[in-house]
Amino acid sequence: MIYVLDEIISFTSDILEEVMRVDIPEIHDRIIIATARFYRAGILTKDRIIFESEIKK
């Protein structure tokens, strides 16, 4: 099944805490990964750094 998130979400302090746990240098990638982890959502990407960080999770 594929679910599409079609709403705008707030950048909360909980997501910020998760951002601080992500160990990659690019802040934009860290925010994407942290938000997906917070909402327990998958990420469909061709970005090697994001892909590899989720494998190591």
Task: Report yes or no on 37 lying in a domain.
Answer: yes
- 7 occurs within a structural domain: no
Helix (H, G, I), strand (E, B) or coil at 8: coil
Amino acid identity at 3? Y
This prediction's pTM: 0.76
Residue 48 in any domain: the answer is yes
Helix, strand or coil, per DSSP, at residue 21? helix
Is the residue at 47 inside a domain?
A: yes
Closest CA to 24 of 14, 36, 15, 33: 33
Residue 35 belongs to domain spanning:
13-56
> pLDDT for 5-37, tens place per residue?
677 888 999 999 999 999 999 999 999 999 999
pLDDT digits (tens, 9 = 90+) for 35-51: 999 988 888 888 888 88
Domain count, the chain: 1
